[in-house]
């Protein structure tokens, strides 16, 4: 492999970790400073080579069963168009021996969603490896700002856990996989969660929204300069977010010992989201004693997804499934796909 792969594990001896970390930081500083300059708060750069924002229909035709997160209407919805209706599209494999389900949050700078490249494709990849997949369509800026996006993700996690038996998954085998801004949403879900509202009349709201593990692909993590992604910050919070909120949603500052185990993937010369976002989150995880694994590659464009056809990056999904298998979240053998399984209505 021509790309530089720095795979780090927090369970290695301290002297190996220190040596690897020192080498990693030295290699990354130049690339991260360039990336940071391209994505400063003052001059946010929109994602390169991305399509213009387009509405996503409730029934997006992704091949799975789409359900409304709130059948009676989403809280604080300002209309009834597709953009106002958060959904979850369910893909079930024929066999799921580990009873694992993963909520997928596509990226798009909190302004649109890459539903196929970072949604449907990921769901089929998981199904082929015996893992249930749930693609989240969450509400977006500039109409919707925090905490709407997080509330949509939390609702989907609660729904998965409440109806786990219907989806043939276990309540303690529920992960969240986010790309780019969806990575920020996943990291936020993993650092801002609750055990449920016992006073709610809604049984789903009584359920925990904590993901059991996180997968973060070229994620936005911080909302602080110089390493933030200006577009994501703007569409999530608007132009005049208070400093306290920026600090609170810079997820590297919110990690503690209860943060879920995490797998991270990024590229050093990512020109959209600085690689130091991933480095900062990984560093915080290690400091808190949370199991973590990170793979950084020297070259690769932002938004690579599964990197099919890219000889430098295409190995990263196999590193991920190896990590999932080691932690009991995927079986040793791949399973056939059944993306159109009949799903019961959410209770």
Q: Name all domains of the chain by residue range, CATH numbers in brackets.
A: 6-326 (3.40.50.1820)
Q: In terms of DSSP bridges, do strands 6-9 and 292-297 run parallel, antiparallel, or are they unpaired?
A: antiparallel
Q: Is the dihedral of CA 206, 212, 218, 220 positive or negative?
A: positive
- Of the candidates 300, 297, 275, the one whose C-alpha atom is nearest the C-alpha of residue 36 is 275
User: Residue 217: which H helix or E strand, with range?
Assistant: strand 213-217
The contacts of residue 186 (CB under 8 Å, 6+ apart) are 103, 105, 153, 176, 177, 178, 211, 214, 215, 216, 219
Return the structure tokens found at 39: 């994505």
**Residue 118 in contact with residue 179, Cβ under 8 Å?**
yes
pLDDT score of 338: 45
- Of the candidates 290, 219, 216, the one whose C-alpha atom is nearest the C-alpha of residue 259 is 290
Burial class (CB in 10 A: 0-12, 13-18, 19+), 6: middle
DSSP for 198-209, please give it: TT-SSGGGGS--
The one-character DSSP state at 323 is H
d(CA 26, CA 20): 10
- Of the candidates 50, 76, 57, the one whose C-alpha atom is nearest the C-alpha of residue 144 is 76
User: pLDDT in tens for each of the 347 residues of the chain?
Assistant: 444 445 555 444 433 333 343 334 333 333 333 333 333 333 344 444 444 443 433 333 345 899 999 999 999 999 999 999 999 999 999 999 999 999 999 999 999 999 999 999 999 999 999 999 999 999 999 999 999 999 999 999 999 999 999 999 999 999 999 999 999 999 999 999 999 999 999 999 999 999 999 999 999 999 999 999 999 999 999 999 999 999 999 999 999 999 999 999 999 999 999 999 999 999 999 999 999 999 999 999 999 999 998 989 999 999 999 999 999 999 987 654 444 444 444 44
pLDDT score of 21: 39
């Amino acid at each position: 492999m021509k790309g530089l792969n720095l795979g780090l594990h927090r369970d290695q001896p301290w002297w190996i970790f220190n040596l690897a970390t020192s080498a990693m930081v030295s290699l990354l500083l130049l690339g991260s400073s360039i990336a940071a300059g391209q994505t400063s708060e003052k001059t946010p750069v929109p994602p390169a080579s991305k399509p213009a924002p387009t509405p996503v229909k409730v029934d997006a035709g992704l091949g799975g069963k789409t359900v409304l997160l709130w059948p009676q209407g989403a809280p604080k919805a300002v209309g009834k168009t597709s953009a106002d209706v958060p959904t979850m599209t369910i893909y079930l494999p024929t066999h799921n021996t580990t009873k694992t389900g993963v909520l997928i949050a596509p990226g798009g700078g909190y302004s649109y969603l890459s539903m196929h490249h970072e949604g449907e494709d990921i769901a089929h990849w998981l199904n082929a490896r015996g893992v249930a997949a749930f693609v989240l369509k969450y509400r977006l800026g500039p109409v919707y700002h925090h905490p709407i996006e997080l509330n949509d993700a939390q609702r989907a996690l609660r729904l998965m856990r409440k109806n786990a038996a219907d989806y043939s998954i276990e309540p303690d085998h529920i992960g969240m996989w986010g790309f780019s801004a969806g990575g920020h949403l996943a990291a936020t879900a993993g650092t801002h969660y609750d055990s449920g509202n016992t006073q709610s009349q809604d049984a789903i709201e009584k359920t925990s929204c904590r993901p059991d593990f996180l997968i973060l692909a070229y994620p936005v993590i911080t909302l602080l300069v110089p390493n933030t992604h200006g577009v994501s910050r703007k569409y999530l919070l608007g132009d005049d977010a208070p400093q306290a909120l920026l600090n609170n949603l810079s997820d590297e500052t919110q990690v503690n010992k209860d943060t879920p185990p995490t797998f991270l993937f990024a590229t050093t010369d990512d020109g959209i989201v600085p690689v130091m976002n991933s480095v900062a989150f990984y560093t915080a995880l290690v400091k808190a004693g949370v199991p973590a694994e990170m793979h950084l590659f020297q070259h690769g464009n932002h938004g690579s997804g599964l990197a099919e056809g890219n000889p430098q990056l295409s190995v990263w999904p196999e590193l991920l499934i190896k990590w999932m298998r080691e932690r009991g979240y995927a079986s040793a053998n791949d399973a056939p796909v059944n993306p159109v399984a009949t799903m019961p209505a959410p209770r």
